[in-house]
Structure 1
Amino acid sequence: MTEYINLKTPLNDSTIEKLKAGDKVRISGVLYTGRDAAHKRLMEMIETGKKLPFNIEGQLLYYVGPTPAKPGQIIGSAGPTTSYRMDTYAPTLIKMGLKGTIGKGGRSEEVKEAMKMHKAVYFAAVGGAAALIAKTIKSVEIIAFEDLGTEAIRKMQVENFPAIVVNDTKGNDLYNIGREKYNKPNV
């Protein structure tokens, strides 16, 4: 039986520091969403000294562009997008207090260093399980950049959102750990 660590947002340093690459988690609370275009606008706001549309401290940012909801649904499919496209922006947001990001694929060395320095983690959500993930989303509200459509920033209330810690605060990387295990000769 798989053991899950239950997390409730917002997160703090002591909670984040206990997580290790490979830990399976279930997240409840608020997740904020954002992709490339929204990140670009957030950076413009930061550079011009404007207030961000949400308090970033302790929060998690899910890289997703959900599909429109069908009648009777809260949201359509809500699977993760490729994270490295946000790597240019992530170190700044992590330095400002963002405690984690959720997506798919690997992260740059700059992002990994920012996570170590400022106590943040990177979670992977399962690509291809967008409909299943959508079932953990209990409410959705667009809070910024509505003109961006699926890339607008949303505030999502989630319950038992499944994810896996890929990068932890110690610099461990689940993808590297997996490759090392695979490449070890059987003795």
Structure 2
Amino acid sequence: MEYRLNLPVEKEEIEKIRAGDIIYITGTVVTARDEAHKMAIEKHERGEELPLNFSEVAIYHCGPIVKKENEEWKIVAAGPTTSSRMELFEYEFIKRFGTKIIIGKGGMGAKTADACRKFKSVYTAFTGGAAVLAVNSIKKVKNVFWLEELGMPEALWVLEVENFGPLTVTIDAYGRNLTEEVKNRARKIAEKIEF
């Protein structure tokens, strides 16, 4: 199935989506790599105020290339970064903040699949190497947070997007993890091959 979603999404919308489905999203997407995940969790633990409500946005594992033109930030390239780097933080991030859609590449592991199942979220894959395609769906940079502390690739870039995708759902809200299924099938086939 294919879905076009407007952010923020409700739990009921997420529960309709299954692993293997394709989604396109319109609304606010925030880039966050490992350092931003870590900082958000640490600030939350200390009771500090966060710059935005992570439950109302999609999180994109991305370190964009950004330039300033006429006092406005412009995204030059915004391809996904390898999501396995965020596996250490993603369960806690989803649990604490209620993020419903995570976007990245390369899949995520059992802890993230468990978080998606428990807290009704999905992990989606955007095609690696398609950084310019992503830019075409980004309408504007709405804001940036933690730029000074973390630098350009690790900062929280708040993006207004329209029909951002295609995003393949590889972990659904029931914990089905397509990436792990493919790895397991490949492993079984490899065991049967004689060298």
Q: TM-score, normalised by structure 2?
A: 0.85
Distance apart, 1:181 and its partner CA: 7.0
Distance apart, 1:178 and its partner CA: 4.2
Unpaired segments of 5 or more residues in structure 1? none
Q: Could you tell me whether the CA contact under 8 Å between 1:99 and 1:120 is conserved in 2?
A: yes
* Aligned mates of 2:59, 2:2 — CA distance in 1: 20
Give 2:158's match in structure 1, choosing from 131, 150, 155: 155
SS of residue matched to 1:135: helix
Q: Which residue of 2 aligns with 1:63?
A: 61
SS of residue matched to 1:54: coil
CA offsets 1:19-61 (integer angstroms, 9 cap, x no match): 1111111111111111122122112201111111111224210
Compare the two structures and name the one with the higher helix fraction.
Answer: 2
User: Counterpart of 2:45 in structure 1: which amino acid?
Assistant: E
Once the two structures are overlaid, the 10-residue window that deviates more, 118-127 or 133-142, is 133-142
* Aligned mates of 1:153, 1:128 — CA distance in 2: 21
- Pair 6,40 (structure 1): closer, same or farther in 2 beyond 3 Å: same
* Aligned mates of 2:68, 2:178 — CA distance in 1: 35
Distance apart, 1:71 and its partner CA: 6.0
Instruction: Report matched runs for 1:77-88 at 5 Å.
Output: 77-88=77-88
Q: Which residue of 2 aligns with 1:90?
A: 90
Matched, 1:167 2:171: yes
* Aligned mates of 1:70, 1:55 — CA distance in 2: 25
SS of residue matched to 2:80: coil
Distance apart, 1:127 and its partner CA: 0.3
User: Counterpart of 2:29 in structure 1: which amino acid?
Assistant: L
Amino-acid identity (%): 37
Q: Could you tell me whether the CA contact under 8 Å between 1:24 and 1:165 is conserved in 2?
A: yes
Q: Which residue of 2 aligns with 1:124?
A: 125
Distance apart, 1:91 and its partner CA: 1.2
- Pair 165,130 (structure 1): closer, same or farther in 2 beyond 3 Å: same
SS of residue matched to 2:92: helix
User: Counterpart of 2:13 in structure 1: which amino acid?
Assistant: T
Equivalent pairs counted in the alignment come to: 183
Once the two structures are overlaid, the 10-residue window that deviates more, 41-50 or 173-182, is 173-182
Q: Which residue of 2 aligns with 1:45?
A: 43
Unpaired segments of 5 or more residues in structure 2? 190-195
SS of residue matched to 1:102: strand
User: Counterpart of 2:88 in structure 1: which amino acid?
Assistant: T
* Aligned mates of 2:132, 2:145 — CA distance in 1: 24
Q: Could you tell me whether the CA contact under 8 Å between 1:74 and 1:137 is conserved in 2?
A: no
CA offsets 1:131-169 (integer angstroms, 9 cap, x no match): 111110001134310122221101100011111101001
* Aligned mates of 1:13, 1:58 — CA distance in 2: 11
User: Counterpart of 1:75 in structure 2: which amino acid?
Assistant: I
RMSD: 2.2
Q: TM-score, normalised by structure 1?
A: 0.88
